[in-house]
Amino acid sequence: MKQTLATIDDVLHAFKTPPGNEGRKLILQAYEFANAAHNGQVRASGMPYIHHCLSTARILAKIGMDARTVAAGLMHDVPEDTPETLATIAKKFGPDIAQMIEGITKLGKIKLRGTKEEYKLENWRRMFLAMGSDIRTVIIKLADRLHNMQTLEHLPQEKQQRIANETMEIYVPIANRLGIGEIRSELTDLCFLYLHPDAYHSTKNISETQIKEKEIYVKKAIEEIKKELKSEGIIFVDVHGRAKGIHSLHQKLLKHDMDINRVYDLVAVRVIVNDIAACYETLGIVHKKFHPMIGRIKDYISLPKPNGYQSIHTTVFGPDGRVLEIQIRTQKMHDEAEFGIAAHWLYESRKHKSWKDYFLPKKNEVSKKEVEWVMQLQEWQKELGNNPEEFIEGLKVDFLKNHIFAFTPMGDIIELPEGASIVDFAYAIHTDIGNSATGARLNGKMVSLDSTVHNGQIIEIITDKNRKSPNADWLTFVKTSMAKGAIRRSIKRARKAQEE
């Protein structure tokens, strides 16, 4: 793909604040500093090095990051590739920006030791440690990796494959877990292009052939939906169509024997309204206008996805009786679907008026709850110590695999990875519940403790208060690190007590 030189005007345009804004001034200062530092340097593409810095910063601005993070994106390679130091950056731009850049520098210093698997494990470890200390460091790294993938064509084929594979295994799942759909989708398609070029191009051809015809139909559906919403007094922010990504379409086609006619959301309609009540009102209006397809309504507002995604999805028989997917959400939900955790800064950072707000670090910018799973991971990593294989395996299951939701009889929601067992469910409620579990009722029927939990099930754990230690055989089927760790600790304590 042909790359055009990014400019500081592109970054400022993406930042979307008026001239004279203190954040814009900071970004301009960072650009001037980085431009001077990288003067004369070029990338493998032959482009001036500053193009990469500007492109990274533009991505950060587009997803709604604050001025300090955009400035750090502009200067993220300065200490590594130029004579300028972190100390100089801290003096000129403040400790907060310097700390972000230091985190990026540390992430970039991963050395390949031993096997490729060991290298990958170390990459994972560093990435998640960085997430716990400052999530913005990882967001900058994602933007940096996205631009590197956009310019991958300039590298040798072997390097293209290695970088694309690493991106698919490490950066795509992280972007997904952080809910940054815009970056995740583009990274996935670019990886698909380099790892499976034939499948990519054939899928792209199918998509392009079908989308032209579908877009005409979707446009008609949008006009009918708008008309219906207006007549019912629903104020909408926007109604638009969105085409499915190439990799996502390929995955759907594989499920449906490569039959494009069975892919209902090749082009979906998104309806964006002002509040949650309007979302449900809109769903009712859409269903009154178009008959819904049975079993194809998904309410991710009341039951969000593990990465925070919220929306209502419904598949209907639209104009002329043709099947169409419609997604209904608020503007905030839409921004969070596109930008994930970065949407926090979209709503908060541009309220600042004093220059101090841009140069001084702020505490608790993202609540602990928003990255609670990262904190859990760090605690678990400390517990595992020097067992990288179990770390990576657990990481894939607990944090990056698709998750499901099940319920206690009291209606409490328990989040678990796909494939989790009843015992995993018990330990997710409380360690004592897991240790004393003797049986379970699943939707009112007795089941064995090794049964697999599925989305939406109601599970009652039967316990014996006299039982204090779990069965060691449970380790053969439990999936979550929480359950494994609790079982091992209990067994260890029981053995120690016997020896005494």
Give residue-wise pLDDT tens across range 303-315: 887 667 899 999 9
Q: Quick check: 386 pLDDT over 60?
A: no
pLDDT band at 480, cuts 50/70/90? confident
Q: Quick check: 81 pLDDT over 60?
A: yes
pLDDT band at 160, cuts 50/70/90? very high
Q: Annotated catalytic, 81? A: yes
pLDDT of residue 358: 36
Angle between helical axes of 481-499 and 422-429 (0-180°, round to 10):
80
Q: Quick check: 146 pLDDT over 60?
A: yes
pLDDT of residue 1: 47
pLDDT of residue 372: 54
Q: Which of 7-16, 234-243, 247-256, 270-279 has the lowest mean pLDDT?
A: 247-256
Q: Annotated catalytic, 80? A: yes
Q: Which residue has the higher pLDDT, 235 or 133?
A: 235
| Mean of pLDDT over the chain | 81
303 C-beta neighbours (distance < 10 Å), count: 15
Q: Quick check: 245 pLDDT over 90?
A: no
Q: Which residue has the higher pLDDT, 116 or 499?
A: 499
User: 422-451, pLDDT tens digit by residue?
Assistant: 999 999 999 999 999 999 998 889 999 999
Say what percent of the chain tops pLDDT 90: 41
DSSP letters for 87-112: HHHHHHH-HHHHHHHHHHHHHHT---
Buried b (16+ CB within 10 A) or exposed e, 360-390: eeeeebeeeebbebbeebeebbeeeeeebee
pLDDT of residue 263: 73
pLDDT band at 129, cuts 50/70/90? low
User: 212-241, pLDDT tens digit by residue?
Assistant: 777 788 888 999 999 999 999 999 999 998
Q: Which residue has the higher pLDDT, 428 or 115?
A: 428
Query: Which helix H or strand E contains 145, and what residues bound it?
Result: helix 135-150
Q: Is 47 helix (H, G, I), strand (E, B) or coil?
A: coil
Distance CA 423, CA 362 (A): 41
pLDDT of residue 6: 83
Is the Cβ–Cβ distance between 245 and 265 less than 8 Å?
no
Query: Which helix H or strand E contains 212, and what residues bound it?
Result: helix 197-231
pLDDT of residue 93: 94
Q: Which one of the listed residues 32, 80, 208, 390 is annotated catalytic? A: 80
Sign of the four-CA dihedral 159, 160, 165, 167:
positive
* Block residue for tokens 């039951």: 303
157 C-beta neighbours (distance < 10 Å), count: 8
Q: What is the largest CA-CA distance in the chain?
A: 78
Q: Is 456 helix (H, G, I), strand (E, B) or coil?
A: coil
pLDDT band at 357, cuts 50/70/90? very low
pLDDT of residue 491: 87
Q: Which residue has the higher pLDDT, 176 or 82?
A: 82
- Name the β-bridge partners of 270: 240, 327
pLDDT band at 336, cuts 50/70/90? confident
The stretch 160-176 carries a mean pLDDT of 86
Q: What is the pTM of this model?
A: 0.68
Q: Which of 135-149, 193-207, 331-345 has the lowest mean pLDDT?
A: 331-345
Q: Which residue has the higher pLDDT, 455 or 201?
A: 201
Distance CA 142, CA 183 (A): 8
Q: Which of 107-116, 244-253, 259-268, 283-292 has the lowest mean pLDDT?
A: 107-116
Helices (H), 151-196: 157-166, 172-177, 181-195
Q: Which one of the listed residues 10, 22, 81, 299 is annotated catalytic? A: 81
Domains of the chain: 8-195 (1.10.3210.10), 198-340 (3.30.460.10), 402-499 (3.10.20.30)
pLDDT band at 131, cuts 50/70/90? low
Is the Cβ–Cβ distance between 458 and 480 less than 8 Å?
no
